[in-house]
Chains A and B, each alone.
Chain A
Amino acid sequence: CCFVAVVLCCCEMTATATFVPFESATDPSFWYSLAQLKLDKLKLDNKPQPLLAHYQAGTDDQPCWLQVSGEAFSDNLTALPTNGALAHGVLYNANTIEEFKSQNHSNMIDKAIRQLRNDISSSAALKDPSLLNPFILRTFADLKKYKFIFRFAYPVLLPHPIELVKSQPLSEFLSATQLSNFPSQLKQFRASSHSPSAFLLRKEPQSEDYGLSSLSEWPDACQNESSLPAVVFVDPSTQAEPGWPLRNLVTLLSYHTKKELQVNVVCLREDKRLEVSNSIVVQLRIPAWNEEDLKQTKPVRGWELDEKGKSRPRMCNLASSMDPARLAETAV
């Protein structure tokens, strides 16, 4: 009833959770890899290509970065940082600027959202939460001028506005002992688990201790309300609001709970020493969600805005670091 009121009267009265969008951060080595891929393999083939990116637990005042490196086209990122998490993308590289302009955006989003729906309903995303971070990259590579025109999208499915009940530092949520144990538990869990972008913080029975476990335990764990685990996710945001990856995660949790849910989410942020004291805990009230909702909900397409906040592609000019002619001039 209270929640219904929130939905009806919209976001003015109560706090509606907001999320900090990803910002793309492409390495020059990524553009080099793309150029090589096009010259050696793709040539004029414009079929979609899978690619990998990563983000890291938020540090200092760094933007909410989705980082794309020269390894993007390999099967896995050997250089994934300890506090990193994977994102799975699809590249649509156009052969000409005209083709870039006429690319069918809706198809790209539809395809990504269809995959996301499948990964949520099939439970694949419970086993591998990195599937919750799809992205799309449209590009046109002008290999004569070493200029790259590109646009990222980070599509999400989100049922309804989510109510933010409260937000507190991790140090208030955990006791001093629990907090001091957390980094070593985290280190151990990361070492044993593949790409843990989201996982559970469960209270051990008859004890004050917490343990970390896989997100795949959620459907069982969420049935027992008295010992509902907290959900931890690698949060690239450093602002008061959680970062983009939480949105599809909320959808996943809601879908597998099958009833209204009030849950604590640990937004895992780390400083340069991998200390977790900057982390926050947000308590969210999430409406019940079913198969039908999953099918019906209109997705947020999430096309990235450019540096000036405009809805348009961006450009990266690498002539001065990749063009052999320019390099010859610069050589000393």
Chain B
Amino acid sequence: LLMEKLGTASKVSTFQKTGKLTPEEFLLAGDYLVENFPTWSWGAALDGKVRKHLPKEKQFLQTKNVKCKPANNPEEGAEDDDGFIDTRANAPKEEIHDLDEPVEKPKAKEINDLEDLDDLEDLDDIDFEDDPAAKKKEPEPEAVVPQSRTYDITVTYDVHYSVPRVWLYGFDENRKPLEGGAWRQDISSDHVDKTVTFEAHPHLGFSCPSIHPCKHSSAMQKMIELTVGSSEGVLDVKYYMVIFLKFIQTIIPNIEYDYTGQFQIQREG
């Protein structure tokens, strides 16, 4: 019965030797992360996208609004794509600019829609601006550091590779979803379309960049070995996710989520 509940996922604990996790271990390590790093929380899947190897209210881990340092060399990323971004008819080219300099966005075909919206301007609704108790947004000061993009990060359990899998959803400075291939600027060219690919999220209905999990177990096995220090050392599986996020940070150094702080791994044995 238990096996049925778990679907095809393995329940034998081998994480220290193989770097792989069972769903129960994913839960333990996730609970520890959420308990100690309040920017992380469990997430629920959308209707019809619940995987039965994990409880309904704990389908994946998430952290929102993670600031992303502007990439230093977006051009390089674009070149590395074999012209992939630019050849697509609907790739928004205006997205590909140097993030260090705020630039006026050239008018694209989207503008028609915005003009439509302008027509909707509601002359009747003066309450908000005339409301003395509503704090007005200060006009953007000029020549300051541009506000950064943010990412929502989710970590799902990958049944095939028995490891956590990371998904990144990017937003611009106004929390509008990034369009086209704009996310590529935030990922190093070594990883774009190789380690980091654009795929359908298992629980949330959209597609977004994801870090492919095929090398995770071997990398984690090495990370755990380094953490434990000797071959006899035993690591509590609850620390797995913290170590995992530390490893993932090396792939996406610009997106600075919370995985450390005042935290020390207690070694056992």
Pick from A65, A97, A311, A313: contact of B129, CB below 8 A: A311
Residues of A within 8 A of B206 (CB): 28-29, 32, 318, 321-322
Residues of B within 8 A of A67 (CB): 64
Cross-chain contact A301 with B125 (CB below 8 angstroms): yes
Instruction: Assess whether B141 is interfacial by the CB under 8 Å rule.
Output: no
Query: 0/1 per residue, A27-48, Cβ < 8 Å to B?
Result: 1110011001000000000000
Known pairs A79-B57, A320-B179; A29 contacts B137 (CB<8 A): no
Pick from B118, B129, B133: contact of A161, CB below 8 A: B133
How many angstroms between the C-alpha atoms of A86 and B132 in the bound complex?
26
Cross-chain contact A272 with B38 (CB below 8 angstroms): yes
Pick from A62, A311, A331: contact of B125, CB below 8 A: A311
Residue on A with the closest CB to B37? Answer: A272
Instruction: Assess whether A241 is interfacial by the CB under 8 Å rule.
Output: yes
Instruction: Assess whether A189 is interfacial by the CB under 8 Å rule.
Output: no
The secondary structure that dominates the B interface is: loop
Number of interface residues of A (CB under 8 A): 68
Q: Which residue, A301, A306, A317, A330, has most C-beta atoms of chain B within 10 A?
A: A330
Cβ of A19 to closest chain B Cβ, rounded Å: 6
Instruction: Assess whether A191 is interfacial by the CB under 8 Å rule.
Output: no
Instruction: Assess whether A307 is interfacial by the CB under 8 Å rule.
Output: yes
Interface size class of B (residues with CB under 8 A): 35 or more
Residues of B within 8 A of A302 (CB): 127-128, 131, 134
How many angstroms between the C-alpha atoms of A320 and B124 in the bound complex?
35
Within residues 289 to 332 of chain A, which ones have a CB less than 8 A from any CB in chain B? 300-307, 309-322, 326-327, 329-332
Known pairs A105-B124, A311-B121; A28 contacts B204 (CB<8 A): yes
Within residues 152 to 200 of chain A, which ones have a CB less than 8 A from any CB in chain B? 158, 161-162
Cross-chain contact A149 with B137 (CB below 8 angstroms): no
How many angstroms between the C-alpha atoms of A320 and B39 in the bound complex?
28
Pick from A21, A32, A273: contact of B134, CB below 8 A: A21
How many angstroms between the C-alpha atoms of A270 and B39 in the bound complex?
11
Instruction: Assess whether B146 is interfacial by the CB under 8 Å rule.
Output: no
Instruction: Assess whether B135 is interfacial by the CB under 8 Å rule.
Output: yes
Query: 0/1 per residue, A87-110, Cβ < 8 Å to B?
Result: 000000000010011000100000
Within residues 10 to 58 of chain A, which ones have a CB less than 8 A from any CB in chain B? 11, 16-21, 25, 27-29, 32-33, 36
Known pairs A303-B125, A303-B128, A332-B193; A312 contacts B205 (CB<8 A): no
Pick from A82, A101, A301, A315: contact of B114, CB below 8 A: A315
How many angstroms between the C-alpha atoms of A272 and B38 in the bound complex?
6
Cross-chain contact A25 with B175 (CB below 8 angstroms): yes
Residues of B within 8 A of A258 (CB): none
Within residues 202 to 219 of chain B, which ones have a CB less than 8 A from any CB in chain A? 204-208
How many angstroms between the C-alpha atoms of A299 and B179 in the bound complex?
38
Instruction: Assess whether A279 is interfacial by the CB under 8 Å rule.
Output: no
Cross-chain contact A312 with B121 (CB below 8 angstroms): yes
Instruction: Assess whether B43 is interfacial by the CB under 8 Å rule.
Output: yes
Residues of B within 8 A of A101 (CB): 119-120
Cross-chain contact B135 with A161 (CB below 8 angstroms): no
Cross-chain contact B128 with A326 (CB below 8 angstroms): no
Residues of A within 8 A of B121 (CB): 310-312
Instruction: Assess whether B56 is interfacial by the CB under 8 Å rule.
Output: yes
Residue on B with the closest CB to A242? Answer: B135
Residues of B within 8 A of A100 (CB): 120
Cross-chain contact B205 with A322 (CB below 8 angstroms): yes
Within residues 150 to 169 of chain B, which ones have a CB less than 8 A from any CB in chain A? 152, 169
Cross-chain contact B44 with A71 (CB below 8 angstroms): yes
Instruction: Assess whether B47 is interfacial by the CB under 8 Å rule.
Output: yes
Cross-chain contact B134 with A16 (CB below 8 angstroms): no
Cross-chain contact B65 with A315 (CB below 8 angstroms): no
Residues of B within 8 A of A316 (CB): 176-177
Known pairs A79-B41, A318-B206, A322-B206; A105 contacts B127 (CB<8 A): no
Instruction: Assess whether B12 is interfacial by the CB under 8 Å rule.
Output: no
Within residues 170 to 185 of chain B, which ones have a CB less than 8 A from any CB in chain A? 174-181
Pick from A16, A65, A241, A319: contact of B132, CB below 8 A: A16
Cross-chain contact A32 with B38 (CB below 8 angstroms): no
Instruction: Assess whether B116 is interfacial by the CB under 8 Å rule.
Output: yes
Cross-chain contact B204 with A29 (CB below 8 angstroms): yes
Known pairs A101-B119, A239-B135, A301-B125; A273 contacts B110 (CB<8 A): no
Cross-chain contact B179 with A317 (CB below 8 angstroms): yes
Query: 0/1 per residue, B90-111, Cβ < 8 Å to A?
Result: 1000000000000000000010
Pick from B57, B131, B193: contact of A78, CB below 8 A: B57
26 contacting pairs across A/B (C-beta < 8 A): A16-B133, A18-B132, A19-B133, A19-B135, A20-B135, A21-B134, A28-B169, A28-B177, A36-B47, A70-B46, A71-B44, A78-B57, A149-B113, A270-B38, A273-B38, A302-B128, A302-B131, A309-B137, A311-B122, A311-B129, A315-B114, A315-B117, A316-B176, A318-B206, A321-B177, A321-B206
Closest A-B pairs by Cβ, 6 of them: A32-B205, A78-B57, A29-B204, A307-B174, A78-B44, A321-B206
B residues in contact (CB < 8 Å) with A: 37-39, 41-44, 46-47, 56-57, 62, 64-65, 88, 90, 110, 113-114, 116-122, 124-125, 127-129, 131-135, 137, 139, 152, 169, 174-181, 193, 197-200, 204-208, 258, 261
